[in-house]
Protein backbone atom coordinates (compact mmCIF):
# COMPACT_ATOMS: atom_id res chain seq x y z
CA UNK A 1 0.00 0.00 0.00
CA UNK A 2 2.90 2.35 0.79
CA UNK A 3 4.14 1.89 -2.79
CA UNK A 4 0.82 3.00 -4.17
CA UNK A 5 1.36 6.40 -2.60
CA UNK A 6 5.10 6.66 -3.20
CA UNK A 7 4.61 9.09 -6.08
CA UNK A 8 2.94 11.67 -3.81
CA UNK A 9 5.17 11.13 -0.79
CA UNK A 10 7.12 14.32 -1.31
CA UNK A 11 4.19 16.31 -2.65
CA UNK A 12 2.15 18.56 -0.38
CA UNK A 13 -1.36 17.69 0.77
CA UNK A 14 -2.79 20.52 -1.28
CA UNK A 15 -6.46 20.51 -2.16
CA UNK A 16 -7.91 21.54 -5.54
CA UNK A 17 -8.98 24.82 -3.94
CA UNK A 18 -5.38 25.48 -2.88
CA UNK A 19 -5.57 24.79 0.84
CA UNK A 20 -2.49 23.17 2.32
CA UNK A 21 -3.29 20.61 5.00
CA UNK A 22 -0.34 19.73 7.19
CA UNK A 23 -0.10 15.97 7.68
CA UNK A 24 1.91 14.85 10.66
CA UNK A 25 2.45 11.47 12.19
CA UNK A 26 1.63 9.96 15.56
CA UNK A 27 4.44 8.04 17.22
CA UNK A 28 5.56 6.67 20.56
CA UNK A 29 8.28 4.10 19.99
CA UNK A 30 11.76 4.26 18.53
CA UNK A 31 10.52 1.80 15.89
CA UNK A 32 8.28 4.59 14.55
CA UNK A 33 11.15 6.91 13.71
CA UNK A 34 12.05 5.56 10.23
CA UNK A 35 8.48 6.45 9.22
CA UNK A 36 9.38 10.12 9.50
CA UNK A 37 11.33 9.65 6.26
CA UNK A 38 9.24 7.04 4.53
CA UNK A 39 5.78 8.48 5.15
CA UNK A 40 6.41 12.05 4.08
CA UNK A 41 5.07 13.31 7.44
CA UNK A 42 5.62 16.97 8.28
CA UNK A 43 6.78 16.28 11.81
CA UNK A 44 5.29 14.40 14.75
CA UNK A 45 1.92 15.81 15.82
CA UNK A 46 1.58 13.45 18.76
CA UNK A 47 4.34 11.57 20.51
CA UNK A 48 2.70 9.35 23.11
CA UNK A 49 5.38 9.24 25.81
CA UNK A 50 3.58 6.69 27.96
CA UNK A 51 4.58 3.88 25.60
CA UNK A 52 8.18 4.13 26.81
CA UNK A 53 6.90 3.70 30.36
CA UNK A 54 4.62 0.80 29.48
CA UNK A 55 7.16 -1.36 27.65
CA UNK A 56 9.48 -1.81 30.60
CA UNK A 57 9.13 -3.16 34.09
CA UNK A 58 10.86 -0.36 35.92
CA UNK A 59 10.49 3.39 35.99
CA UNK A 60 12.80 4.76 33.27
CA UNK A 61 15.63 6.97 34.49
CA UNK A 62 15.75 10.61 33.52
CA UNK A 63 19.00 10.22 31.58
CA UNK A 64 17.56 7.28 29.69
CA UNK A 65 14.47 9.24 28.70
CA UNK A 66 16.46 12.28 27.77
CA UNK A 67 18.55 10.18 25.42
CA UNK A 68 15.44 8.68 23.83
CA UNK A 69 13.77 12.06 23.35
CA UNK A 70 16.96 13.44 21.83
CA UNK A 71 16.92 10.60 19.30
CA UNK A 72 13.34 11.45 18.39
CA UNK A 73 14.22 15.12 17.89
CA UNK A 74 17.29 14.16 15.86
CA UNK A 75 15.17 11.97 13.60
CA UNK A 76 12.67 14.78 13.08
CA UNK A 77 15.50 17.13 12.03
CA UNK A 78 14.05 20.64 11.83
CA UNK A 79 10.44 19.47 12.04
CA UNK A 80 8.58 19.80 15.32
CA UNK A 81 7.76 16.91 17.61
CA UNK A 82 4.78 17.39 19.91
CA UNK A 83 5.69 15.49 23.07
CA UNK A 84 2.64 14.61 25.07
CA UNK A 85 3.39 14.13 28.75
CA UNK A 86 2.35 10.87 30.37
CA UNK A 87 -1.20 9.73 29.81
CA UNK A 88 -1.29 6.89 32.33
CA UNK A 89 -3.25 5.85 35.33
CA UNK A 90 -6.38 3.83 35.71
CA UNK A 91 -6.46 1.39 32.80
CA UNK A 92 -2.89 2.00 31.60
CA UNK A 93 -1.35 0.91 34.87
CA UNK A 94 2.40 0.79 35.09
CA UNK A 95 3.49 -2.50 36.65
CA UNK A 96 5.86 -0.61 38.94
CA UNK A 97 3.25 1.88 40.19
CA UNK A 98 0.59 1.19 42.75
CA UNK A 99 -2.70 0.50 40.99
CA UNK A 100 -5.85 2.28 42.01
CA UNK A 101 -9.10 0.45 41.72
CA UNK A 102 -11.55 2.69 39.90
CA UNK A 103 -15.00 1.89 38.54
CA UNK A 104 -14.59 4.19 35.49
CA UNK A 105 -10.91 4.36 34.65
CA UNK A 106 -11.35 6.40 31.44
CA UNK A 107 -12.94 9.11 33.55
CA UNK A 108 -10.72 8.46 36.48
CA UNK A 109 -7.38 9.47 37.90
CA UNK A 110 -5.36 9.63 34.72
CA UNK A 111 -3.06 11.79 32.63
CA UNK A 112 -2.68 15.38 33.81
CA UNK A 113 -4.73 14.59 36.92
CA UNK A 114 -2.00 12.24 38.08
CA UNK A 115 0.68 14.62 36.83
CA UNK A 116 -0.62 17.44 38.99
CA UNK A 117 -1.50 15.42 42.09
CA UNK A 118 1.79 13.51 42.11
CA UNK A 119 4.12 15.69 40.09
CA UNK A 120 7.35 13.72 40.61
CA UNK A 121 7.24 11.76 37.38
CA UNK A 122 5.99 14.66 35.27
CA UNK A 123 8.78 16.89 36.61
CA UNK A 124 11.35 14.24 35.74
CA UNK A 125 9.86 13.94 32.29
CA UNK A 126 9.84 17.69 31.66
CA UNK A 127 13.45 17.88 32.78
CA UNK A 128 14.37 15.02 30.43
CA UNK A 129 12.65 16.82 27.55
CA UNK A 130 14.42 20.11 28.22
CA UNK A 131 17.78 18.33 28.36
CA UNK A 132 17.00 16.39 25.19
CA UNK A 133 16.24 19.61 23.35
CA UNK A 134 19.70 21.06 24.11
CA UNK A 135 18.49 24.50 23.12
CA UNK A 136 16.43 23.33 20.14
CA UNK A 137 12.74 24.28 19.92
CA UNK A 138 10.59 22.22 22.27
CA UNK A 139 6.87 21.47 22.04
CA UNK A 140 5.04 19.99 25.00
CA UNK A 141 1.40 18.97 25.17
CA UNK A 142 -0.56 18.11 28.30
CA UNK A 143 -3.14 15.32 27.98
CA UNK A 144 -6.70 15.28 29.23
CA UNK A 145 -6.91 18.86 30.38
CA UNK A 146 -10.53 19.47 31.38
CA UNK A 147 -10.42 22.98 32.79
CA UNK A 148 -8.18 26.00 32.65
CA UNK A 149 -6.53 25.78 36.05
CA UNK A 150 -5.13 22.35 35.15
CA UNK A 151 -3.33 23.84 32.19
CA UNK A 152 -2.16 26.84 34.20
CA UNK A 153 -0.73 24.55 36.88
CA UNK A 154 0.93 22.25 34.34
CA UNK A 155 2.47 25.19 32.56
CA UNK A 156 3.77 26.51 35.88
CA UNK A 157 5.48 23.12 36.36
CA UNK A 158 7.11 23.58 32.96
CA UNK A 159 8.27 27.09 33.90
CA UNK A 160 9.71 25.78 37.16
CA UNK A 161 11.50 22.99 35.33
CA UNK A 162 12.98 25.51 32.91
CA UNK A 163 14.18 27.70 35.75
CA UNK A 164 15.77 24.74 37.54
CA UNK A 165 17.54 23.64 34.39
CA UNK A 166 18.76 27.17 33.74
CA UNK A 167 20.24 27.37 37.24
CA UNK A 168 21.95 24.02 36.69
CA UNK A 169 23.53 25.45 33.56
CA UNK A 170 21.66 23.44 30.94
CA UNK A 171 20.77 25.23 27.70
CA UNK A 172 17.15 26.36 27.59
CA UNK A 173 15.18 26.09 24.34
CA UNK A 174 14.76 29.46 22.70
CA UNK A 175 11.37 28.47 21.37
CA UNK A 176 8.98 26.67 23.68
CA UNK A 177 5.38 25.87 22.85
CA UNK A 178 3.09 24.47 25.52
CA UNK A 179 -0.32 23.23 24.50
CA UNK A 180 -3.19 21.07 25.61
CA UNK A 181 -5.17 18.20 24.20
CA UNK A 182 -8.84 18.93 23.79
CA UNK A 183 -10.33 15.60 24.83
CA UNK A 184 -13.21 16.57 27.07
CA UNK A 185 -16.22 18.57 25.85
CA UNK A 186 -15.69 21.01 28.73
CA UNK A 187 -12.69 22.58 27.00
CA UNK A 188 -14.75 23.50 23.98
CA UNK A 189 -16.65 25.82 26.32
CA UNK A 190 -13.68 27.06 28.34
CA UNK A 191 -13.32 30.83 28.69
CA UNK A 192 -11.58 32.81 25.96
CA UNK A 193 -8.67 33.35 28.32
CA UNK A 194 -7.93 29.62 28.18
CA UNK A 195 -7.72 29.74 24.40
CA UNK A 196 -5.31 32.65 24.66
CA UNK A 197 -3.24 31.01 27.37
CA UNK A 198 -2.43 27.83 25.44
CA UNK A 199 0.12 27.99 22.64
CA UNK A 200 -1.93 25.44 20.70
CA UNK A 201 -4.71 22.90 21.05
CA UNK A 202 -4.94 19.42 19.59
CA UNK A 203 -8.25 17.60 19.44
CA UNK A 204 -7.91 14.06 20.77
CA UNK A 205 -10.87 12.77 18.83
CA UNK A 206 -10.77 9.29 20.34
CA UNK A 207 -11.47 10.54 23.82
CA UNK A 208 -13.49 13.57 22.75
CA UNK A 209 -15.93 11.43 20.78
CA UNK A 210 -16.22 8.93 23.62
CA UNK A 211 -17.20 11.68 26.04
CA UNK A 212 -19.36 13.56 23.56
CA UNK A 213 -21.59 10.54 22.89
CA UNK A 214 -21.03 8.93 26.30
CA UNK A 215 -19.91 5.80 24.44
CA UNK A 216 -16.89 3.82 25.63
CA UNK A 217 -14.22 3.85 22.92
CA UNK A 218 -13.16 0.34 23.95
CA UNK A 219 -16.65 -1.09 23.64
CA UNK A 220 -17.32 -2.03 20.01
CA UNK A 221 -20.98 -2.48 20.63
CA UNK A 222 -21.64 1.12 21.59
CA UNK A 223 -18.73 2.74 19.77
CA UNK A 224 -20.09 1.79 16.38
CA UNK A 225 -23.46 3.33 17.01
CA UNK A 226 -22.06 6.84 16.74
CA UNK A 227 -20.59 8.06 13.52
CA UNK A 228 -17.81 10.62 13.63
CA UNK A 229 -19.65 12.21 10.73
CA UNK A 230 -22.76 12.58 12.88
CA UNK A 231 -24.02 16.14 12.38
CA UNK A 232 -24.02 16.92 16.10
CA UNK A 233 -20.38 15.95 16.44
CA UNK A 234 -19.34 17.86 13.32
CA UNK A 235 -21.22 20.93 14.59
CA UNK A 236 -19.36 20.60 17.85
CA UNK A 237 -15.99 20.31 16.11
CA UNK A 238 -16.83 23.24 13.86
CA UNK A 239 -17.49 25.31 16.97
CA UNK A 240 -14.02 24.49 18.24
CA UNK A 241 -12.48 25.44 14.89
CA UNK A 242 -14.38 28.72 15.00
CA UNK A 243 -13.24 29.60 18.50
CA UNK A 244 -9.63 28.81 17.66
CA UNK A 245 -9.81 30.89 14.51
CA UNK A 246 -11.36 33.82 16.37
CA UNK A 247 -8.93 33.65 19.26
CA UNK A 248 -5.89 32.89 17.12
CA UNK A 249 -5.17 29.53 18.74
CA UNK A 250 -3.31 27.06 16.52
CA UNK A 251 -5.38 23.89 16.24
CA UNK A 252 -4.79 20.34 15.09
CA UNK A 253 -6.59 17.00 15.25
CA UNK A 254 -4.70 13.90 16.36
CA UNK A 255 -7.28 11.16 17.01
CA UNK A 256 -7.61 8.05 14.83
CA UNK A 257 -10.22 9.73 12.64
CA UNK A 258 -7.51 12.01 11.23
CA UNK A 259 -6.08 8.94 9.51
CA UNK A 260 -9.32 7.82 7.87
CA UNK A 261 -9.57 9.41 4.41
CA UNK A 262 -13.31 10.19 4.49
CA UNK A 263 -13.20 11.59 8.01
CA UNK A 264 -9.97 13.48 7.29
CA UNK A 265 -11.55 15.12 4.24
CA UNK A 266 -14.49 16.26 6.37
CA UNK A 267 -12.20 17.56 9.11
CA UNK A 268 -10.37 19.62 6.50
CA UNK A 269 -13.68 20.83 5.07
CA UNK A 270 -14.82 22.15 8.45
CA UNK A 271 -11.54 23.97 8.92
CA UNK A 272 -8.82 21.76 10.39
CA UNK A 273 -5.49 22.52 8.73
CA UNK A 274 -3.24 20.13 10.66
CA UNK A 275 -3.98 16.44 11.02
CA UNK A 276 -1.82 13.91 12.83
CA UNK A 277 -2.19 10.21 12.18
CA UNK A 278 -0.46 6.85 12.07
CA UNK A 279 2.25 6.98 9.39
CA UNK A 280 0.58 4.45 7.08
CA UNK A 281 -2.46 6.73 6.77
CA UNK A 282 -0.58 9.71 5.39
CA UNK A 283 -0.55 8.42 1.80
CA UNK A 284 -4.26 7.58 1.58
CA UNK A 285 -5.30 10.81 3.32
CA UNK A 286 -3.05 12.94 1.15
CA UNK A 287 -4.32 11.22 -1.96
CA UNK A 288 -7.95 12.13 -1.25
CA UNK A 289 -7.15 15.66 -0.11
CA UNK A 290 -5.38 16.34 -3.40
CA UNK A 291 -8.57 15.44 -5.27
CA UNK A 292 -11.13 17.51 -3.46
CA UNK A 293 -12.36 21.07 -3.21
CA UNK A 294 -12.97 21.94 0.43
CA UNK A 295 -15.65 24.52 -0.40
CA UNK A 296 -17.62 21.92 -2.33
CA UNK A 297 -17.32 19.37 0.45
CA UNK A 298 -18.26 21.96 3.08
CA UNK A 299 -21.39 22.75 1.04
CA UNK A 300 -22.28 19.06 0.99
CA UNK A 301 -21.87 18.86 4.77
CA UNK A 302 -23.88 22.00 5.42
CA UNK A 303 -26.64 20.96 3.03
CA UNK A 304 -27.01 17.68 4.92
CA UNK A 305 -27.15 19.60 8.14
CA UNK A 306 -29.93 21.83 6.89
CA UNK A 307 -32.08 18.90 5.78
CA UNK A 308 -31.72 17.31 9.20
CA UNK A 309 -29.53 14.33 8.33
CA UNK A 310 -28.16 12.38 11.27
CA UNK A 311 -24.86 11.66 9.57
CA UNK A 312 -23.34 13.34 6.53
CA UNK A 313 -21.60 10.11 5.53
CA UNK A 314 -23.86 8.96 2.67
CA UNK A 315 -23.74 12.37 0.97
CA UNK A 316 -20.00 12.71 1.57
CA UNK A 317 -19.37 9.24 0.14
CA UNK A 318 -21.32 10.27 -2.93
CA UNK A 319 -19.19 13.41 -3.30
CA UNK A 320 -15.99 11.40 -2.82
CA UNK A 321 -16.94 8.72 -5.34
CA UNK A 322 -13.99 8.04 -7.59
CA UNK A 323 -11.71 10.19 -5.43
CA UNK A 324 -10.85 7.66 -2.71
How many residues contact ligand PEP, by CB under 6 A?
10
Residue from 89, 255, 283, 284 touching ligand PEP (CB under 6 A): that is 255
Q: Return the closest-CA partner of residue 266 out of 240, 232, 228.
A: 228
Point out which span in 131-139, 201-209, 284-292, 303-311 binds ligand PEP (CB under 6 A). Answer: 201-209
**Does position 205 bind ligand PEP by CB under 6 A?**
yes
How many residues contact Mg ion, by CB under 5 A?
3
Binding mask 2-41 vs ligand PEP (x if CB under 6 A, - otherwise)?
Answer: ----------------------------------------
Residues 157-196 that bind ligand PEP (CB under 6 A): 183
Task: Measure the N-to-C terminal CA separation of the chain; round to a whole number of Å.
Answer: 14
Measured from the CB atom, is 110 or 148 closer to Mg ion?
110
Question: What's the helix, strand, coil split of the chain in %, to 5?
Answer: 50, 15, 35
**Does position 87 bind ligand PEP by CB under 6 A?**
yes
Q: Minimum Å distance from CB 208 to Mg ion?
A: 8
**Does position 263 bind ligand PEP by CB under 6 A?**
no
Q: Which does 48 bind (CB under 5 to 8 A by kind): ligand PEP, Mg ion, none?
A: ligand PEP
Q: Output b/e per residue, 278-307; b: 16+ Cβ within 10 A.
A: bbebbbbbbbbbbebebeebbebbeebeee
Cβ–Cβ under 8 Å, residues 203 and 254: yes
DSSP-based three-state secondary structure for 260: coil
**Does position 204 bind ligand PEP by CB under 6 A?**
yes
Q: Minimum Å distance from CB 207 to Mg ion?
A: 4
Name the burial class of residue 7, with classes exposed (0-12), middle (13-18) and buried (19+) by CB atoms within 10 angstroms of its CB: exposed
Cβ–Cβ under 8 Å, residues 130 and 162: yes
Which DSSP category does 59 fall into?
P
Enumerate binding residues for ligand PEP (CB under 6 A): 46, 48, 87, 183, 204-207, 254-255
Amino acid sequence: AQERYASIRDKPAKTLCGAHIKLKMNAGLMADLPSLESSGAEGVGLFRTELQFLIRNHMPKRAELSELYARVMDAAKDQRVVFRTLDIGSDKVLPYMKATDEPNPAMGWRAIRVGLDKPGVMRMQLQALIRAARGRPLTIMFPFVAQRDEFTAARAEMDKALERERILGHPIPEVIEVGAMLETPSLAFAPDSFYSEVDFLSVGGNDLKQFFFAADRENERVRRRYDTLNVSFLNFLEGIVYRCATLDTPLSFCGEDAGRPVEAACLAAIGFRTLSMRPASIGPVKSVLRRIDLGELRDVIHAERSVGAQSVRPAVMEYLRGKL
